[in-house]
Amino acid sequence: MLKITKKELFNILKARHENDKYSRLAQMPKPDSFKDIQKATTRIKDAVLKNEKITIVGDYDVDGVVSTTIVVDFFQKIGIQVDYIIPNRFEHGYGLSPKIVDMIDEGLVITVDNGISANQAAKKLKEKAIDLIITDHHTVGEELPEAFAIINPKQKECNFPFKEICGAQVAWYLCAAIKQELKKEVNLQDFFDLLCIAIIADIMPMTSLNYIMVKHGLKSIKNSKRPAFVKLNEVMQKQLFVSDDVGFTIAPKINSAGRMDDASIALSFLLSQNLYEANDSLQMLEELNCYRKTLQEEISKKAVQAMSNQDNAVIVWGEDWHEGVIGIVASKLSNAYKKPAFIFSIKNGIAKGSARANANINLHTIISKTSDLLLGFGGHKNAAGLSMEAKNLEEFKKRINELLNIEAKDLYIEHDVLGELDVSSVDIEFLDIIEKFEPYGLNNHRPIFKISNSKIIKTQLFGKDKNHLKLTLNNNGYVFEALQFHAENRDLEDCINLVVSINKNEFRGEISPQFLIQDIL
C-alpha cells in the first residue's frame, strides 16, 4: 500500500479539483439558465408593484429553514414585507400540504426546498385563484404540480449546468434573478454563510459549484455580522470553520427544532435581529438537541434489536417512535451496517418512514418501484421520506429485499483509503494540507488512512452512555490516542490495524492531531 508523505497527500487532494469548472465565484453559472426563472421573477415583480401579499412556504429541515431565511432576509433587505410559513412536522406534514393551503387566502405563494410533489396542494391553490411558484431540488415525479412556474434543476427542460444543488441554492438563485429584475443593490455573497450550512446539511456532492460556494461560506461564518453567527462564533470559539463543524455541531442544532418541536425556533434564530434574540433561540436549540440525542439513542437500540442481519437493508418499525429522529437513526444504522436503512414510526395504523443510503443505488428510484404500497414518498438519491398503511410494511420489506438483491459493494460505498500512514509524520504542516482542501463531503471525502500494527496500551469507554471509545496506542514507538464515536462493544486484539481520518484539535490555544477511527481491522 502507498506510503502517504506530505507531498503525496498534497498531490492526491489537489488532483480531485483539477477539472472543476467553477474554481472561482466569477465562473458560477448565471440564474437565467434555470427553466421558468424569468417567468417567476416577472410574476414576483408584478406582485411587488401591485402590493400583493407574498407568502413563502419552507420546510422543517436545515435546508428548508435556511432557504426560508435567505428569501425572507433578501426581501427585508430590499424593503419588501413577506409572510412566511414553516410547516410543523407533526401538525402539517412535509412542505406545501393542503393543511398549509388552508392558512393562505390570497396573493402569491413561493415554495422553497419543497413543492415538486405537492400536486394536491397546488390544485387547491389554483381553486383559490392563488398563483404558485415552486422552487425545489428534489427528484421530479411523473406528474408535475399545476404551478405558475417551477424552478428545479432536475426538470428535463432545465439547462442549469449543475444538477446536484440543494433547495437553499435554488432559492438563492431566485433572489439573484429578482435582484436583477427589480434593479436592487444587494450583495448576494452575504448569504454564503447560510448557504454553506444548507449544502453540507443536505449532503450535496462536495464538488464543483458546491465546493466553491461552501469554501467561501465557511470563511463567511467566521466574519458574519448575522447575530446568529456572531453568537455561534462566541460559543464555538473556532479559529477556522471546517465542514465537520457544520455537519456535527451547527446543523444538528438547527435541525433539532423541526425534529423535536417546531422549526420556527430555528428560523427565529437565523433571523435574529440582535444578540439577545440569538442567545435565547440558541439556548432553546441546545435543549432540543440534547433531548433529540437521548431519544435517538433509545430508538437506535430498539431498531438494532428489531433488525435482521440477513436483510439487504435495515428495515424496522415501532409504535410511536419519534418521527423527528428516525431519519438520523436511519443514517446511523446505514453507516454502521453498511447497507441502506428504512426506519418507520407507526401511529394510528399509518407508518411514516425515513430512508438513508450511501450506496450505488438511487433511493428515490428504488422506493418508486413500491409506489402501489405507498400513500406518498419523495426525496433524492441518498435520502427519502415515505408513508404507507402499517399493514403493508411486511410486503414493503419483502419487495425492498428483492430490489436490493445486488452485490454487497453496491449497497454501501466504502471510503477510499489513500494509503499507509506513518503516525509520527502527522504534524501541523500535515494538518494544514488536509485543511487547505476543505470542505469535505460527499464525492470529496475527508482523507482516510490506514495505520498498521498498533499495540493497544489502554482502552477506555467514555460519554454519558459509555458508547464512545478512546484507545491509547503505540505505533513503532510513537504513542498516540484515537477516538471512535458510537463504537460497537467488541473484544480487540492486542495489536490492531486502523482506518482513520484526522482532524485538527484546538484546545486552549494548542493545536494537535485528533485521530478518528473509521474502522478497526
pLDDT in tens, 328-340: 999 999 988 999 9
pLDDT, position 65: 98
> What does pLDDT average to over the chain?
93
Quick check: 238 pLDDT over 90?
Answer: no
Measured distance CA(238)–CA(1) in Å, rounded: 35
Question: pLDDT by residue (tens digit) across 170-217?
Answer: 999 999 999 999 999 999 999 999 999 999 999 899 999 999 999 999
Asked if residues 420 and 2 have their Cβ atoms less than 8 Å apart, the reply is: yes
- At residue 492, φ and ψ (nearest 5 deg) are -115, 145
Pairing of strands 131-135, 108-112: parallel
pLDDT at 467 over 90: no
Q: Tens digits of per-residue pLDDT, 68-112?
A: 999 999 999 999 999 999 999 889 988 999 999 999 999 999 999
Q: Tell me, what's the pLDDT at 486?
A: 77
**More confident position, 483 or 20:** 483
What is the model's pLDDT at position 443?
Answer: 87
Q: So what's the pLDDT on residue 93?
A: 86
DSSP secondary structure of 449-509: EEEEEEEEEEEEEESTTS-EEEEEEEETTEEEEEEETT-------SEEEEEEEEEEEEETT
Which sign, positive or negative, has the C-alpha torsion 122, 125, 131, 135?
negative
For residue 434, the Cα-to-chain-centroid distance in whole angstroms is: 22
Question: Distance between CA atoms of 48 and 81, rounded to whole angstroms?
Answer: 10
Q: Please name which of 362, 384, 383, 382 lies closest in space to residue 374, comparing C-alpha atoms.
A: 384
**Mean pLDDT (whole number) for 152-168:** 95
The 10s digit of each residue's pLDDT in 432-457 is: 999 999 999 988 999 999 999 999 99
DSSP 249: I
Q: Using CB atoms within 10 Å of the CB of residue 144, give its burial: 0 to 12 exposed, 13 to 18 middle, 19+ buried.
A: middle
pLDDT-wise least confident of 23-32, 53-62, 167-176, 394-403: 23-32
The residue with cell 402499517 is 390
Say what the pLDDT of residue 249 is: 95
Element (H, E) at 515: strand 510-520
First to last CA, the chain: 15
Asked if the model's pLDDT at residue 509 lies above 80, the reply is: no
8-17 pLDDT, tens per residue? 999 999 999 9
| % of the chain surpassing 90 pLDDT | 81
Across 45-54, 239-248, 388-397, least confident range: 239-248
Only one residue has cell 409504535, namely 319
Please, which pLDDT band fits residue 45 given cuts at 50, 70 and 90?
A: very high
